[in-house]
Structure 1
Amino acid sequence: MTAGTVPPAASSLDALRLVEHEVGVLMRRARRALTERARLVHPDLQAIGYLVLVQVEADGPVRGSGLCDVLHLDKGAVSRSVQHLLDLGLVDRTPDPDDGRATLLSVSDEGRRRVRAVDVARREMLGERFADWSREDLCDVAQTLRRYNASFGPEA
């Protein structure tokens, strides 16, 4: 059996090996895409910083501890990433009005502009890559990925 093909008489073990192989390919490509997106936002931005930045954009204003919970990262990694994002001018920090000891993070105007530009470029690229796929095919892939992800439990 070669990678990418499953003969009709393939065993369940062969099919699982193929799933494992394809997920590995997907993960490597996702890591590479994440690194590329980070560099498009800012040449000095690392992939983890990009993840933190887009999460702040999605949830902000947010505390650093909230980022740790959502991204499943330790406090040190989030703290270093946040400081780098602050240094790059991509996020802002303000006092938390509900707790004077805490601060809230939000995406700066410049950070938002850069993330949105990368998002537009990414959607255009995906549109080109999947131009010959039907809407139904894309929905089928999304549903299969959702089912795959759900088999591991809640994302939380």
Structure 2
Amino acid sequence: MADQAQDVDVAEELGHQLVRLLTMVGRAKAQFPQATGDGVERAAYALLAHLVKEGPKRITALAEAVHSDTSTVSRQTSSLVAHGLVERQADPEDGRACLLVATDAGRATFDRARAERTKHIAAVIADWPANERRTLVALLNRLNTDFENYHPVGEIR
């Protein structure tokens, strides 16, 4: 029973620390304008990042990959298309469908935004020992993977 109470206490503290982290990330986003200044909404950059890193995707596959609904992803990708960062191409496997593909301008925009983000993160953890930085990355990767794979009982998928 003591182990369960301790597990709950740790989970509660982790939740508190995650809320702190998300608050600080939100504050940082407000303080540091998007590196591109192109007027594309922030949430659309996650889609652009996925297309740059993972390659062309159908809109339904992209929505699934970023854990969002198709209508939201459709609206956000329309903005990316309008800004010339993503283009629609015929799917070679099914000519009736289209793939979303990052353009050269989209890849350049992503690279600038990533470099800006990386610069700030590097500054925040600059005084950390290298082994602690690597441990943090490994543990965050594990936490993210576990959250992606976690499906509470009764959740419809």
TM-score norm. by structure 1 comes to 0.78
CA 1:76–1:12: 2 relative to 1, 3 Å: closer
- 1:80 match: 75
Query: Residues 85 and 106 of structure 2 are in contact (CA less than 8 Å); yes or no, is this contact kept in structure 1?
Result: yes
Q: 1:131 to 1:117 in 2, by over 3 A?
A: same
Amino acid at match of 2:95: G
Matching of residue 102 in structure 1 with residue 97 in structure 2: yes
Alpha-carbon distance in 1 for matches of 2:43, 2:145: 24
Q: What amino acid does structure 2 have at the position aligned with 1:45?
A: V
Pick from 65, 69, 80: which aligns with 2:64? 69
* CA 147–83 in structure 1, closer or farther in 2 if over 3 Å, else same: closer
Q: CA RMSD in A?
A: 2.6
8 Å Cα contact 1:95/1:102 also seen in 2: yes
Contact 1:38 1:46 in 2 (8 A): no
Any gaps of 5 or more consecutive residues in structure 2? 1-5, 151-157
Give 1:32 shift.
4.9
Q: CA deviation at 1:128?
A: 1.9
Matched residues, number? 146
Letter in 2 for 1:40: A
5+ residue gaps, structure 1, are: 1-10
User: In structure 1, what is the equivalent of residue 16 of structure 2?
Assistant: 21
Find the counterpart in structure 1 of residue 43 from structure 2: 48
Q: What TM-score does the superposition give when structure 2 sets the normalisation length?
A: 0.78
